[in-house]
Amino acid sequence: MNILDRYIGRTVITGTLTTLAVLLALYIFMTYVGELRKVGRAQYTALTALQFTLLTLPRWAGDLFPMAALIGSLMGLGNLASSSELTVMRAAGVSVMRITWAVAKVALLMMVAVVLIGELVASHSEQYAFKLRAAALQKHVSVNTGSGLWIREGNSYINARTVYSNRRLGGVHIYEFSAAKQPLKLTYAPQAGYREDGSWLLEDVSQTRFSESRVTAARRDELVWRGILDPGLIDVVAVEPQGLSSRELLRYIGYLENNGLNSDRYRVAFWSKLAAPFATGAMMLLAIPFVFGAMRSVSAGSRLLAGTLIGIGFYLFNHSLGQLGVVYSIPPFLSATLPTICAVAVTCYMLQKVKN
């Protein structure tokens, strides 16, 4: 990468990160104000609300990255155009495609950043955020980031390694003890679902009973458990599909389909995660036609306004189509990737016109 590439790349990255910081600052303000309504319940404090808000930032950074990439690239390239630096580059023999390639290198870097944030940071911080809030709002619930949700019911201890948003639990362990704290029974179920009668249905259950003389094991296909776990708590600590990593989504999609359950919400989230890097790259390259194309003669403010509206429109289209796809049974792949496919197609078309 030569000096010109580094200079253009640094300008575009600075604009993108600045825009992302502004968008995330707005998110922090709005989310924190909403969380303040819960302050005072149980042990939920203003500091806990702030921690919850900050821990959800990585996921929102991934969601807002395409919009920030478009607006930030327009800011960076627009500044170069306003100061006539792009004109000097063109006069020195640098072609539009050469400048486009410099931006494309930055776009590839940003695409990798989106993947890393979504897979390595966002999923873990999102789950920890909801567990932290649940621990503060529920006095009888202890949450540990390494072992999931813990509940005590008399002499029994219930552990759910994962809490899903559709009132399902994963990795359920029920430890039962005597009054003298001697182990009586261990029940394990990979999955559990809430039923309308207020009970939980444990699936593929294995039980181990302890006595003074021996230990016995048994297996059951299903077991009804009536515990104190309020399903309202599930709504508090539920991990939304967007908060799971691609690997976690694939694992849970496989479970749902193997048991004949609807997996559309999780499929939409999975395909959206795969499409997000491409959306970021497309949005960043879309800034090139704004600077060199039909809008090169308008003011920088007008280009920035147009880019902002396009970015917001893409964000709304992307999220609303995913929800509509679940409601109206649109194939998850199509509802999750159509906005990105449209963005890539429009970007390629406009770049071709600029090239010509």
pLDDT at 179: 87
Please indicate, yes or no, whether residues 255 and 123 belong to a single structural domain of this protein: yes
Q: Is residue 42 part of a domain?
A: yes
pLDDT at 232: 61
Read off the CATH number of the domain in which 159 is found.
2.30.30
pLDDT, residue 294, reads 56
Q: 340: which 2 tokens?
A: 């990105």
pTM of the model: 0.77
* Cβ atoms within 10 Å of 285's Cβ, excluding its own: 23
- Are residues 107 and 210 both part of a single domain? no
Domain boundary among 178, 200, 227: 227
Q: Which domain holds residue 82?
A: 3-137+242-355
233 found inside a domain: no
Per the structure, how many domains does the chain have?
Answer: 2
> Is residue 40 located within the same domain as residue 106?
yes
Considering the domain architecture, whether residues 213 and 331 belong to the same structural domain is answered as no
- Listed residue (65, 82, 99, 76) closest to 10, CA to CA: 76
Residues 38 and 124 in one domain: yes
CA 161, 63, 28, 320 torsion: positive or negative?
Answer: negative
Same domain for 150 and 117, yes or no, is no
Please check whether residue 282 is in contact with residue 313, taking contact to mean a CB–CB distance below 8 angstroms.
no
* 118 and 32 inside one domain: yes
End position of a domain, from candidates 227, 262, 291? 227
Is residue 298 a part of any domain in this protein? yes
Along the 356 residues of the chain, how does pLDDT read in single tens digits? 588 889 999 999 999 999 999 999 999 999 999 999 989 887 899 999 999 999 999 999 999 999 999 999 999 988 888 888 888 888 888 888 888 999 999 999 999 999 999 888 988 898 888 878 877 876 455 555 567 778 777 788 889 888 776 778 889 999 999 988 889 999 999 999 888 888 899 999 999 999 888 899 999 999 998 876 766 666 555 677 888 889 888 888 887 787 677 889 999 999 999 999 999 999 999 999 888 865 566 677 777 888 889 999 999 999 999 889 888 889 999 999 999 999 999 999 988 887 65
Structure tokens at 22: 């502004």
What secondary structure does DSSP assign to 122-186, as a single string? IHHHHHHHHHHHHHHH-TTEEEETTTEEEEEETTEEEEEEEEBTTSEEEEEEEEEE-TTS-EEEE
Kindly state whether residues 161 and 121 are assigned to the same domain: no
Nearest to 131 by CA among 252, 62, 234: 234
